[in-house]
Structure 1
Amino acid sequence: MDDEGNSTPRPSKSKVILPNLGHELPNPLRFDSYAQPGPSNLSSRVPSTASSVAGSVVNHPARKPLTRRQQLLQRARAHENAGSPLSGIGSEALQSQNPQIKEDILRLIEQYLGEEGYLATKLVLHDEANLKAKERGDRQVQGKNLKRAIMEGDWAEVDLIVSKGPLVRTQNALLYSLYKQQFLEHIEYRELQKAFTLLNKRLKPLEHFQPTPNEFKDLCYLLSAKSVHDAPSFKNWEGVTAARERLVEAFGKMVEGEREEREENVFVPPNRLVTMLEQAVSYQIELSRYRPKDVPVIHSLLQDYTPFVVPNSIANVLEGHTANIKAVRFMGAEGKQLVSGSSDNTVRIWDTSTSNCTTIMRGHRSRIWDVDATTNGDRIASASGDRTVKVWNWQAEEELQRCATTLEGNLGDVYAARWHPMGNHIATGGYDKIVRLFDVESGTILKTFTGHSLSISSVMFNPLGNLIVSGSKDSNVRFWDSVSGLCIRTLNAQLGEVTSVDMSDSYLLTNSRDNSVRLWDVRMLRPLRRFKAHSNTSQNFIRASFAHSSLLVSGSEDGVLYMWDRESSEVLQTLEGHDGIVYGAVWNDKQSLLASYGSDAKIRTWEFDERKDFEFED
C-alpha cells in the first residue's frame, strides 16, 4: 500500500452552531397569558443510532458539491474553539433552570430507578421530592393571606408577605400589579406625595412589566390629573373595591394555572431517559469527523463520543540527522516539539509545525538508543551506547549549559530510559541486564532491580509511578515495585525477545521478535489479543505503542508502519514512506499527529487527510 492509503479522520474538537430552536415565550406582563412552553420535538431533529453511523467519509469537496454532512463538518471546524457540538443547542432549547424542566428530570430519574429495580431509592427520591409539596403548602397559606390583605387594603402586610419569597414564577409582574393598585388608590384619595414616592421607588424599576406600552406613561400623567379616569389606560377603572377584587381574581388564576402544570399525574414514555441518552449519542456520532462502518460501542456517558483517528498521509519530513534514528518522543501534552536520538551521537529538538530543527545537543560519545521528555517537556533524557544517560535543559541559550547531569553506573549500552511522572527520577535498562532507578538531582542510583537473564530493551513507569515495567531479550516482562525494589509480577509467555513495552490504562502492549504484538490485561496478567502483519525478527529494536487506547502502532523491518484496531485486531492502516527499517512511531493526541522514525535518518509526521477516503481493509 502506498502512502495514500485509507484512514479515519481526526477526532472532532469543534462546535456546531445549529438553527435557533427557541420557543415563543408567553407575555410576562399578563397573569392570564402565562403558559409553560411545550417541549421541543428534539427527536425529529436527532437521528437514530442506526442511521447515524451508516455510510462513510465522502470525497473532498474540491470538485463535488458539498453534501449535508460536509456542510455540518465545515461549520463545526469554523467554530473549532467554541466548545462541544452539544453546547449550542443545550443553552437555547433546554432551559435547565426552568422549574418544570427540573421536575421532568426528577420524573425521568424516578422512572429509571423503578425500571432498574431500585425501588427503595425511588421511594426515597419520591419522598424528598415531596418536600417541595410542603413548600407549596406554605405558599398557599401566604397566597390566602395576600388575597385577604389586598381586599382589606393592608399594603404593609402585602409588602411583608411578598418579601418572604416568590409566590409565583412571574413574581415581578405580580409586584408591578400590586404597586400599581396602591398607586391608583393614592391617586383616588389624592395622596399625591405617597403616589409620587411609590412611582419612583417601586414602579419605575418594574416599568418593563407593564401590560400595555403606554400604561406607565399614563401612571406618570395621573400625578397631575384630577381623576384616575383622566388617563386613557384607566378610563374604565371601576374603583378601589372592584379593582382589588379583579387583582385577587387574576392572582388566583395564576396560582391555579401553575398548580395544574405541577400535577404529578404526568405520562412518562417507557425508557424515556435511556431514549434521550441514545439520541444524544447518535447526535454526537453524526457530527463526528469519522463514522465507522459498524455501530461504535459507547462504554461511558461521562464524556462526549469522539472517534479515534487513523492517519493516512505524510504531513512533514524532518531531515537533519546523518545516521539512523533510534528513538523519538513528543515533548509535553501540546506536542509542539519533539526530540529525537540518533546513531550520529546527537539529540535534536524539532518544531512540529515548521519541521525545523531548533536545537542540537552534542556530548554523547556513542549512538543514542532512547530519548524521553518530562511531562511538561522542559527536560530531556537520552540513553546512549557510551554507558551514560544525559539530562538536558534544552532551552538553555549556551550549548555548554544544556547538559545538566550525566548519570553513570551502567555497565554497558543503555538501551532505555524513562522519566518518572513526577520528573525527579529516571529508570534505565540496558546490556548489563539491570534496571536502575536514578535520582536526577543528585545523580545517584537509588535502587537496582535484578532478575532478567539477558539485556533489557525497554523500561517504563506506570501512570502512578509506583511500578517500573521492563522488557528483556530473555522473553520476559517484569513488574518492579519502585519503592521496595522487588519484582512483583512476571509475564513469561513470550515467544520471542521483547523489544518494547507500553501501557495504557489497564492494558500492556508488548512487541517481540516473533513477528507479533501482544495485548495484555495487567490486572489479570493474561493475554488478550495478538496482532500480526509486521516484521520483527532481526537484531533491531522494533517498538510498538498505543496511539491511544483504541489504536496500536508498530514499526517494521519491511519499511512499513502498521496500525491495528485494539478490539478487532484488524490492520486499520499501513503507511509507506520510509526508505528502510521503521523502528517505531509515537502519537500526540492534542494534534492527532503521528511521528515515525527509522534507518533512513528521517522523521515523518503523519496526519489524516480528509481528501482520501477511509475503508477498513478486508
Structure 2
Amino acid sequence: MSDDNVRILRTPGHHGYGVKFSPFNPNLVAVATGQNFGLLGRGKLILSDLCLPDDGVVSSCEWSDALFDLTWSEQSPNNIVTASGDGTLHLWDTANPQAPLMVYQEHLKEVYSVDWSQTQDYQVFVSASWDTTLKLWDPNRSRSLMTMTGHEALVYQAVWSPHLSGCIASVAGDGILRIWNTKKNSQPSITIRVCEGEVLSCDWCKYNENVIATASTDANIYGWDLRQPTLPIFILFGHEYPVRRVKFSPFIETQLASASYDFTTRVWDHTAPSPCLEVMKNHTEFVYGLDLSNHKEGVMADCAWDQTVAIYHPGKPHLTPHEALQ
C-alpha cells in the first residue's frame, strides 16, 4: 500500500490495544492504550478527529491501569466504555474527561473485551475477562445484570450479534467459540471447538446471522456456520503468527480484515481463488486493535504496540484517508 494512502497517528508513551470508529461521526476514532506494553503503569483513552492535522487529538481520559479495549455507546455520541487490567470498566463522557461517569467493578481479573449491543431493544454492554466469565451490564446500574460461565480459560473477546437481540459470541483460551442467548439463560447454547490452541477474536458476518469468523494462535482464520458447526466453512491461511483481531466488512458480505502479531493487517475475501486481497505493513510491533468504518466503505484503522494508529483505505491508492472520509 502506498504511504500516501496511510495516515499515522502517534500515541506517545502508550501502546495500542483497541481502536474503534465512532458510530455517530465518521471522522472520530478512539484508541485504548497502556503504558509499558500494558504490563505496568497507566492507561489512556485517546480521541482523535481525522479532519484535524497531526494526531488530531481532541480529548483524552486517563485511568490508573492499562486500558485493553473500548466500545462506543450506541445511545450517546460522547460516551465510551473502556476495559482495564485492574478488572474494572469505565463509562466516560469524552466532552468532560476528568473522571469516569461510572466505574463497574465485579471482575476478578483483567477485562480484555467490551462490546455495546447494536440492537435497538437491548441497550446494554457485555464484558469478557481473564476470570473466565462474561458479564452483562446496564450502563446506568453499578451492578451487572447477569454473569455467564462456561469457558474454562481466560476469555479474550465477546461480541454481540448485529442481527439477533440478546445473542453473544465469545472466544477464549480454551479453544472454544461459545454462543449465548442472554434472554433465555446464562449458559451457552452452542459450543464449537475451534482449535487446540487459544482463540483470540471473533466477529459476526454483517449479512448472515449464522456466520461467524474466529482468529486463533495457530495463525488461521476460520469461518463457521452455526447451523452446521462441525467443520469450518472456510479457512484463511497467510499470517505468520497468531491473529489478534478479525472483523467482517460492513459493506461486502464475503470480505473481512485481520490484525496479527506478525506486524501486519490483511484484507480477505473468503470466496476468492486467492483470498488475501491486501497486506498492510505499517507497524514495527504487534498489531492489537482493528476496526472498519461503518460510514465509508474500505476505511480501516488499526493500532499496535509501536505507539501508533494507522488509518487507511485499502485498494484505493488514489484517495488519501481524509478524502475517503468525505
Task: Give the TM bin, normalised by the shorter chain.
Answer: 0.7 to 0.9
In structure 2, the CA distance between the partners of 1:466 and 1:519, relative to structure 1 (3 Å rule), is: same
Partner of 1:403: helix, strand, or coil? coil
The size of the alignment, in residue pairs, is 266
Give the one of 283, 301, 307 matched to 1:534.
283
Identity fraction in percent = 21
Alignment of 1:195-274 (within 5 A): none
Q: Deviations over 1:472-505 (max 9, x none)?
A: 1111111111233242111123222101011112
Contact 1:468/1:480 (8 A) holds in 2:
yes
Amino acid at match of 1:429: V
Give the one of 305, 315, 327 matched to 2:69.
327
1:432 has 2:155 as partner: no
CA distance in 2, matches of 1:571, 1:367: 40
Q: Deviations over 1:501-545 (max 9, x none)?
A: 1111222111112211111124326111111111334xxx71222
In structure 2, the CA distance between the partners of 1:459 and 1:478, relative to structure 1 (3 Å rule), is: same
Contact 1:310/1:572 (8 A) holds in 2:
no
CA distance in 2, matches of 1:2, 1:391: 33
1:475 has 2:216 as partner: no
Amino acid at match of 1:483: R
In structure 2, the CA distance between the partners of 1:420 and 1:311, relative to structure 1 (3 Å rule), is: farther
Partner of 1:543: helix, strand, or coil? strand
Give the one of 277, 285, 307 matched to 1:559.
307
Hey, what does 2:228 align to over in structure 1? Answer: 484
- TM-score (ref. length: structure 1): 0.40
CA distance in 1, matches of 2:196, 2:319: 34
CA distance in 2, matches of 1:572, 1:363: 44
Alignment of 1:303-382 (within 5 A): 312=53, 313-319=56-62, 321-332=63-74, 335-355=77-97, 356-375=99-118, 376=120, 378-382=123-127
Q: CA deviation at 1:393?
A: 1.4
Partner of 2:165: helix, strand, or coil? coil
Q: Deviations over 1:182-223 (max 9, x none)?
A: xxxxxxxxxxxxxxxxxxxxxxxxxxxxxxxxxxxxxxxxxx
Partner of 1:524: helix, strand, or coil? coil
CA distance in 1, matches of 2:318, 2:305: 20
Amino acid at match of 1:367: E
Partner of 1:448: helix, strand, or coil? strand
Amino acid at match of 1:549: E
In structure 2, the CA distance between the partners of 1:2 and 1:365, relative to structure 1 (3 Å rule), is: closer
Q: CA deviation at 1:430?
A: 1.1
Q: CA deviation at 1:2?
A: 7.6
Partner of 1:555: helix, strand, or coil? strand
In structure 2, the CA distance between the partners of 1:513 and 1:571, relative to structure 1 (3 Å rule), is: farther
**Larger-gyration structure (1/2):** 1
Partner of 2:65: helix, strand, or coil? coil
CA distance in 2, matches of 1:416, 1:424: 16
1:420 has 2:164 as partner: no
CA distance in 1, matches of 2:276, 2:75: 30
Q: CA deviation at 1:333?
A: 6.7
Q: CA deviation at 1:310?
A: 5.6
Q: CA deviation at 1:412?
A: 0.6
Give the one of 430, 445, 449 matched to 2:188.
445
Give the one of 266, 269, 283 matched to 1:521.
269
Q: Deviations over 1:114-144 (max 9, x none)?
A: xxxxxxxxxxxxxxxxxxxxxxxxxxxxxxx
1:408 has 2:149 as partner: yes
Amino acid at match of 1:488: I
Contact 1:378/1:395 (8 A) holds in 2:
no
1:509 has 2:252 as partner: no
CA distance in 2, matches of 1:311, 1:440: 41
Q: CA deviation at 1:335?
A: 3.1
Which has the larger share of helix? Answer: 1
CA distance in 2, matches of 1:545, 1:571: 19
CA distance in 2, matches of 1:391, 1:2: 33
Alignment of 1:185-200 (within 5 A): none
Which has the larger share of strand? Answer: 2
Alignment of 1:51-200 (within 5 A): none
Amino acid at match of 1:374: S
In structure 2, the CA distance between the partners of 1:564 and 1:536, relative to structure 1 (3 Å rule), is: same
Amino acid at match of 1:342: S
Q: CA deviation at 1:309?
A: 5.5
Hey, what does 2:290 align to over in structure 1? Answer: 544
Q: CA deviation at 1:384?
A: 0.3
Contact 2:234/2:270 (8 A) holds in 1:
no
Partner of 1:409: helix, strand, or coil? coil
Contact 2:9/2:308 (8 A) holds in 1:
no
CA distance in 1, matches of 2:305, 2:318: 20
Q: CA deviation at 1:451?
A: 2.9
CA distance in 2, matches of 1:311, 1:550: 21
Runs of at least 5 residues in structure 2 that lack an aligned partner in the other structure: 1-7, 11-21, 26-48
In structure 2, the CA distance between the partners of 1:452 and 1:392, relative to structure 1 (3 Å rule), is: same
Alignment of 1:42-57 (within 5 A): none
1:462 has 2:168 as partner: no
CA distance in 1, matches of 2:244, 2:150: 23
Partner of 2:145: helix, strand, or coil? strand
Q: Deviations over 1:12-35 (max 9, x none)?
A: x9xxxxxxxxxxxxxxxxxxxxxx
Contact 2:9/2:310 (8 A) holds in 1:
no
1:393 has 2:138 as partner: yes
Runs of at least 5 residues in structure 1 that lack an aligned partner in the other structure: 4-9, 14-307, 574-607, 609-613
Q: CA deviation at 1:352?
A: 3.0
CA distance in 1, matches of 2:180, 2:93: 29
In structure 2, the CA distance between the partners of 1:359 and 1:565, relative to structure 1 (3 Å rule), is: same
